[in-house]
């Protein structure tokens, strides 16, 4: 009997996704370059109740074991390994068969592979898969883009293996070309923002509020029962409770403060810059990761600046702060900051969609992120509804419901940021979000002065508020005459 689908690449993601597919009753063939992983996966399938999963040691046997038109998911390291895997498998594929790359791939690589596959009569999907190991095994959020036919061929599988939420499975056909990978990339950028904002909330509560790990665990668990309910808040509450098995106290305090990264956050910020979309919260989270990496330099800087006379803030003075009120303020600051961060991610998607003609449905994307993925959160339902109310919404901040929430939270938000600045605790994500909000909501900015400067030194011209056209002024000449007239000397 032939398998319904195949999967090549049996590391963390591939192995778990294959077991998920088999568990849903779809017979699946699996293959991996190193055969030990094939044996491992087959053994797992047997131990998990004899799931219909069939291992193959040769690429030819693997491909020929799948019913036509074939659908083969690839889950190998992004980049060259994907090309090599495609090369290996496509020798045995036939026109009409489809390749589905489930890795975190750069969207332009997918677009190139779509063209190459098409020249061989093959269909191609670039499918973002989020949720890590657990998501892959028990229900990820899936973001497939590329060939609609390739999607149709496996839609019944994808809708069964994806996370299920109140309004359906967390999968939708995202759009043509590299749309699926691009959406996954922005998802990861938003994830960077969320994690940064949560770490800032932790820092303020810990340093300014003096909260213990037990109190932090309780606070985050409480937050997870309200508007901040999300996977990341939930796991954060858990983290504070984990004891260090090698010593006293909790493990979180023993972890080196140096953040790793794999590149999707950087791509998001690069794309934002390419498209002239402001994404300051996501950029701040990326910068914070870079600065965290300079551990030795930061330690040296701390010493140098102490010797130069910087006084470490006397945090005891902040302890007069009402703890309960601080916790409530930080909750509100985190929520408002998050809205700004999602607004930036969504606007990046909107802009790319317009450039590429992907016709992305932002409300539907918020829906498929409600379950399975790392940024899954209660408030994504509100984002979905905001875009349902107005598909062309300029910015989440001006959706009437979010606008009301931002206004309700802004006093607390400003108190938290103010307190952090006073205490010398950097909150780059919260500050970036607040600056984004304060910039976006102002009808008049000091950009008039920047325009004047540009025209002064570069004759770049400017527009006026009171009449149409493009203007240039001989600024230095007039200023010199003015100084001469007033007696001011330069
Ligand atoms: P890895 O990204 O660690 O890749 C390991 C797999 O790639 C193994 O199956 C390995 O085969 C295969 N591989 C490599 Br490396 N070079 C190869 C080559 N030249 N030819 C054929 N196969 C090759 O696996 P992963 O962590 O499961 O992630 C898979 C994809 O999913 C990646 O794009 C990742 O970014 C993405 N992703 C991962 C997560 C996560 O939580 N880990 C979450 C979401 C998305 P071998 O066994 O023979 O060495």
Residue 177 contacts by C-beta under 8 Å, 6 or more apart in sequence? Answer: 107, 110, 111, 114, 145, 146, 356, 358
- Residue 490's pLDDT is 41
Domain spans of the chain, in order of start: 5-177, 184-440, 447-486
Strand partners, 129: 142
- Residue 317's pLDDT is 63
The low-confidence residues of the chain, meaning pLDDT below 50, are: 489-490
Total-model pTM: 0.95
- Residue 272's pLDDT is 98
Q: Is the CB of 32 under 6 A from ligand 1?
A: yes
Best probe residue, ligand 1, of 8, 9, 36 (max atoms within 8 Å of C-beta): 9
Burial (CB count <10 Å: 0-12, 13-18, 19+), residue 204? buried
Best probe residue, ligand 1, of 20, 77, 113, 139 (max atoms within 8 Å of C-beta): 77
Question: What are the tens digits of pLDDT across the range 183-227?
Answer: 999 999 999 999 999 999 999 999 999 999 999 999 999 999 999
- Hey, is 98 helix, strand or coil? strand
Q: Is the CB of 12 under 6 A from ligand 1?
A: yes
CA–CA distances in Å: residue 395 to residues 340, 367, 390: 9, 17, 10
Domain 5-177 listed as CATH 3.30.460.10: no
CA–CA distances in Å: residue 386 to residues 124, 363, 389, 449: 32, 7, 5, 35
Q: Is the CB of 428 under 6 A from ligand 1?
A: no
| DSSP of 396-459 | GGGSHHHHHHHHHHHHHHHHHHHHHHHHT---HHHHHHHHHHHHHT-S--THHHHHHHHHHHH-
Burial (CB count <10 Å: 0-12, 13-18, 19+), residue 485? exposed
Give domain 184-440's CATH architecture.
Orthogonal Bundle (1.10)
Question: What are the tens digits of pLDDT across the range 65-85?
Answer: 999 999 999 999 999 999 999
Q: Is the CB of 134 under 6 A from ligand 1?
A: no
Cα of 143 from ligand 1 centre, angstroms: 18
Domain 447-486 listed as CATH 1.10.260.40: no
- Hey, is 312 helix, strand or coil? coil
Cα–Cα distance, 154 to 159 (Å, whole number): 9
């Amino acid at each position: 009997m032939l398998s319904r689908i195949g999967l090549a690449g049996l590391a963390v993601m591939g192995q778990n996704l294959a077991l998920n597919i088999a568990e849903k009753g779809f017979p699946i063939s699996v293959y991996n370059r190193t055969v030990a992983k094939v044996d491992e996966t087959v053994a797992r399938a047997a131990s998990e109740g004899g799931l219909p999963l069939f291992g193959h040691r040769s690429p030819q046997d693997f491909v020929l074991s799948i019913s036509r038109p074939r659908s083969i998911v690839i889950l190998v390291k992004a980049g060259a390994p994907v090309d090599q895997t495609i090369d290996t498998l496509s020798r045995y594929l036939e026109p009409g068969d489809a390749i589905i790359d489930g890795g975190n791939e750069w969207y332009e690589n997918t677009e190139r592979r779509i063209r190459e596959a098409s020249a061989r009569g093959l269909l191609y999907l670039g499918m973002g898969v989020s949720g890590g190991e657990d998501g892959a095994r028990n229900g990820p959020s899936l973001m497939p883009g590329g060939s609609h036919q390739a999607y149709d061929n496996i839609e019944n599988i994808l809708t069964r293996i994806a996370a299920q939420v109140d309004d359906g499975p967390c999968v939708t056909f995202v759009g043509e070309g590299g749309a699926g990978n691009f959406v996954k990339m922005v998802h990861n950028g938003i994830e960077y923002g969320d994690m940064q904002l949560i770490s800032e909330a932790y820092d303020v509560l810990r340093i300014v509020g003096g909260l213990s790990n037990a109190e932090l665990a309780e606070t985050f668990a409480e937050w997870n029962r309200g508007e901040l309910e999300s996977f990341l808040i939930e796991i954060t509450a858990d983290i504070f409770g984990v004891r260090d098995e090698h010593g006293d106290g909790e493990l979180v305090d023993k972890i080196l403060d140096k953040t790793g990264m794999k590149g999707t956050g950087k791509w998001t910020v690069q794309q934002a810059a390419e498209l002239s979309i402001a994404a300051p919260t996501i950029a701040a989270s990326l910068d914070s990761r870079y600065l965290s990496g300079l551990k030795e330099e930061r330690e040296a800087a701390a010493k140098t600046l102490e010797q130069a006379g910087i006084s470490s803030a006397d945090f005891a003075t902040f302890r007069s702060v009402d703890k309960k009120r601080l916790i409530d303020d930080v909750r509100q600051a985190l929520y408002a900051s998050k809205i700004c961060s999602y607004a930036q991610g969504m606007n990046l998607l909107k802009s790319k969609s317009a450039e590429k003609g992907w016709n992305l449905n932002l409300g539907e994307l918020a829906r498929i992120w409600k379950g399975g993925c790392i940024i899954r959160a209660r408030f994504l339902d509100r984002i979905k509804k905001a875009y349902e109310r107005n598909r062309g919404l300029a910015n989440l901040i001006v959706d009437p419901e979010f606008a009301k929430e931002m206004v309700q939270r802004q006093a607390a938000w400003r108190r938290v940021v103010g307190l952090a600045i006073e205490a010398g605790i950097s909150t780059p994500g919260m500050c970036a979000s607040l600056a984004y909000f304060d910039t976006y909501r102002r009808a008049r900015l000091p950009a008039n002065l920047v325009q004047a400067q540009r025209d002064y030194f570069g004759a770049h011209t400017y527009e006026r508020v009171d009449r149409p056209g493009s203007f240039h002024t001989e600024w230095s000449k007039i200023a010199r005459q003015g100084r001469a007239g007033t007696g001011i000397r330069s």
